[in-house]
A and B are shown apart, each in its own frame.
Chain A
Amino acid sequence: MIEFAEAVLGRDDARLQAARQAIHDALGADAVVDSAGVAGLFNAIDRIADSTGAPLEADKAEMTAGLREEIGIDAFAAQKEALDADAAKTAAEKKS
């Protein structure tokens, strides 16, 4: 599943073909279709969340706090804050 996710978002056709075949061999043809559906849907829904600033629900944030810190998701939010701070600093420097 992880290999398929990485391959479908990548540009290596041979890798994707191999990942697709692995799912087919292990789980069957319908699993290829359903895996493609889920990967495609989340590749899109991530873009909705990230472009509209959809916040994580408070209960989900609380339930997943440890996991989010452990696997590094919190770092993504910190990175966004740093990017905005840097952009504000650059804009201020241009004005002065």
Chain B
Amino acid sequence: MSTIQYDDSAYAVRDDLVSAHQRAWERLSTAGSWLTGDERVKVMRETRHARSCATCAKVKDALSPFAVTDAHDAGTDLPENWVNMIHQIVADPGRLTHGWYKKTVGDGGDRGIAETHFVEIVSVVAHTTAIDTFAKGIGVPVRALPEPQDDAPSQYRPKEARQHQAWAPNIAWDEFGPNEADYFVGPESSIRRALTLVPGEARSFFDVTSAQYLAGPQMRDFSQEFRAITHLQIELLAARVSALNQCTY
């Protein structure tokens, strides 16, 4: 069973938010474009495990995150380079560099993680982080992980995806093909492009975004409020979270 409820919360959670989380949990439990359902749930488990990793704490405190060479405390049997990648993203996202990206995907000859897999892992880490942080915010335990489904990855890579200014390949706003026409609507956005090497992940994450934050048109409609907190309060909160994460975007 791959479902989420917040019946134990002291605060009533909007139905659309519960539904978005249920859809996300269902998608996370099934095969993606490149990872099996079992691998995706293990990435979720590793994301949670990284929060208590002693090496990650050292990385966070070190002058350079790359100066720490201790092995990370793995919570799954995922490949070591996947574990390292997940832990770095969880522990110290603000100090991830282009050099780290190239090393992680194997640029320069080292055996690395395929860029398609890299993007899908980032997406699973991000989904898990968004939903777990929400649970913490309303004061309930993280939700039970979904049961992995036994299906096969689609291995779909959009032919329009290519290298641009971002480190990871993606689809330019004016280069999408018919399969992605539903996604590329509204003003151009770098962050909406970020996961489009694996379009299903981009769609899924921005489905969660619409429920936890705002849908695209709502972000730019200052004539009315869509949440119990104002646009200004939303942006203040978002800016402080991003500053704490040392996010440059």
Residues of A whose CB lies within 8 Å of any CB of B are: 1-2, 4-6, 8-9, 16-17, 20, 24, 27-57, 71, 73, 76-77, 79-81, 83-84, 86-88
Contact = CB atoms under 8 A, between A and B. Distances in A.
B12 A33 contact: yes
A49 B247 contact: yes
B177 interface: no
Nearest to A32: B11
Interface residues of B, number: 72
A54 B127 CA distance: 17
Nearest to A4: B237
Interface stretch (B36-44, B74-82, B135-143): B135-143
Given A5-B244, A39-B133, A47-B129, A34 B229 contact: yes
Interface in B96-137: 96-99, 101, 119, 122-123, 125-127, 129-137
Given A32-B138, A40-B137, A42-B241, A52 B119 contact: yes
A50 B249 contact: yes
5 contacts: A1-B233, A41-B209, A44-B125, A44-B127, A52-B166
Given A48-B122, A57-B189, A83-B65, A40 B242 contact: no
Most chain A beta-carbon neighbours within 10 Å: one of B12, B94, B229, B242: B229
A83 B65 CA distance: 8
Nearest to B123: A48
B49 interface: no
B190 A54 contact: yes
Interface of B: 10-14, 17, 64-66, 89-90, 93-99, 101, 119, 122-123, 125-127, 129-139, 165-168, 170, 188-191, 193-195, 205, 208-209, 211-213, 227-229, 233-234, 236-238, 240-249
B189 to A, nearest CB: 7
B93 A47 contact: yes
Contact of B190 (A5, A8, A43, A57): A57
Contact of A54 (B132, B166, B233, B240): B166
Contacts of B93: 46-47, 50-51
Contact of B244 (A6, A37, A71, A86): A6
A41 B212 contact: yes
